[in-house]
Structure 1
């Protein structure tokens, strides 16, 4: 971080010869000190001006901390240095305490993984007895929207200042987010959770194909990782016990939706970098709810009442059904919120690796909970696809970038 130290903390000595000439960079010094140094004729050789004892020569203690600029492109923080624990490095930079940062990241990653596992388990349980993904997807967006409105109203999260241009810029990303979310829910309703996550691990391959179509170039290592992802997903698909074309295409369409959301966001939201990641996701959830719910009523709304009675008859206790649906909605937003908090403090590469490992944890957890049969070739294909995703994150991190005429690795 950048530390703006205007004067050293030790005493400063003004000699007779230097006091008769203008002080260089006088605009950076305290005005009282400059006037006193230039106009006083009583300075003797070797007279020291001690800042603690000179009433008119003190440097203001408060100063803007330029180091608290978040790495999240949508967030800018201007907290003073006194609000955040820090320590000075040997070269004068202010750094966050590494043990505290490591502990915070461990907690955030733990919550992210745990919340994602809870969401996937209870979302699948609800879909098993109430197979209406359009309703559940809408309810999950509703829970996220209400959650963000509560945070903003209680001032637990700063509410962004928005205008018409911001809403217009969000219409595209929110539409693709809606497509990605409902497609994933449809896939969850038709196949095993583990299979959906294996297919969703192919998202980097879709991203590379789209970016290459738009003119980006990638090294051979990236294309090799993409081939391994495609091969692993294909092997897992043909050996999946619960294979269903609706589930396969739902997961694939979800990949397309989220890739297009990311690409479109970069183009349409460049002028709104003052909105942090969590607030941006909150507004996307709200707009997505307005997109999805009317369509959900049209697609399956006539079946909700009869489906509800069948679900209650199957499970026996209405409160259990309500609990499953509520947990799926709450934890859907919570795991997304934790992922944005993690992204604020780590590099995109670390986030990609963490997201890949999250899929591994979710796949193992859901296989254990639902006891889905897994064939050896299916497990091998899943492992190849996940490992290909890991290789992709490593290969893209090594892609050279040219900034300011210099090559940076």
Structure 2
């Protein structure tokens, strides 16, 4: 983000104390979501983590309902195949691990609370676009994470570094992988925010569903994770449920918008 702002590729937002204070909550949940996702990735197959993370709409509906939001029957019905598919995938997962499962579930909670908290606390800063918002959330998240990482894993850094080099064989390879991982992860989020401004919610939801399919299939091919037929079926049902939820959610937003235009 500093590079984008420095080279004028992205207009930097005006930073004020209320703006930073409003981001403290979303950044905290953002940090929790990413840490728990990384814990899950380290314990189970990447494909399994993404299947469980496809249940994020379930947490979104539940938490939003507790906060007073109401949803039509179509949305509640759409989360049933997500729950069933994720359950089937978990039961039949070869690499199943409780820590991996809990990591993915906590990640869902973190990201849902981030989204809800952002919507509630940042309504006064609608002039800030999605990319700048994500950039500042990530920057504040870094300041949350760095001292915690030093305290929790600081004594293990040297040992972990040498173990990583030993397993990879070349220090430069490790540096390149970490750099590429960070750059591509940021570009993924950046393109997502930019795409949402350019295409319809329907197109975006279809693309988001296909993203999970591509990630799951790619990780199975790259890491050669064994996949049982019932596990593949459960994954497919969960992803299909996510697609149904996105369609029901888009229809509800369109209905609310139309009702608002009629009332005005």
Report the TM range for the smaller structure's normalisation: over 0.9
Task: Report the number of matched residues.
Answer: 260
Larger radius of gyration: 1
Distance, in Å, in 1 between the alignment partners of 2:123 and 2:203 is 23
Superimposed CA distance per residue, residues 33-68 of structure 1 (whole angstroms, 9 cap, x where no aligned partner): xxxxxxxxxxxxxxxxxxxxxxxxxxxxxxxxxxxx
Question: Does the 8 A contact of 2:74 with 2:248 survive in 1?
Answer: yes
What is the aligned-residue RMSD (CA, Å)? Answer: 1.3
CA distance in 2, matches of 1:155, 1:398: 37
- Map of 1:349 onto structure 2: 202
Q: Select which of 330, 344, 348 maps to 2:183.
A: 330
Q: State the distance in 1 between where 2:59 and 2:201 align.
A: 18
SS at match of 2:127: coil
Deviations 1:306-331 (A, max 9, x none): 11111112222111111111111111
| In 1: Cα distance, 2:250 partner to 2:128 partner | 26
Question: What is the deviation of 1:352?
Answer: 2.2
Note the alpha carbon deviations across 1:285-325, whole angstroms, 9 max, x for none.
Answer: 11000001111111111111011111112222111111111
- Following TM superposition, by how much is the alpha carbon of 1:368 offset from its aligned partner in structure 2, in angstroms? 0.4
Query: Could you say which residue in structure 2 is the equivalent of 1:312?
Result: 165
Query: Aligned pair 1:391/2:244, yes or no?
Result: yes
For residues 243 and 269 of structure 1, the distance between their equivalents in structure 2, rounded to whole angstroms, comes to 38
Aligned twin of 1:200: 53
Name which of 369, 383, 387 aligns with 2:222: 369
Residue 183 (structure 1) aligned with residue 40 (structure 2): no
- What's the TM-score once normalised by structure 1's chain length? 0.62
Is 1:272 equivalent to 2:129 in the alignment? no
CA contact (8 A) 2:202 2:247 kept: yes
> Any residues of structure 2 matched to 1:66-145 within 5 Å, and which?
none
- On the 8 A contact 2:205/2:247 being kept in 1, the answer is no
Query: Secondary structure of the residue that 1:383 maps to in structure 2?
Result: helix
Distance 1:174 1:348 in 2: 25
TM-score for both structures, normalised by structure 2: 0.95
More helix by share: 2
Q: Which residue of the partner structure matches residue 66 of structure 2?
A: 213
Task: Point out which structure has higher relative CO (alpha carbons under 8 A, 6+ apart).
Answer: 2
**1:403 correspondence with 2:256:** no
1:298 aligns to what? Answer: 151
Residue number among 159, 168, 173 corresponding to 2:12 in the alignment: 159
Residues 1:232 and 2:89 aligned together: no
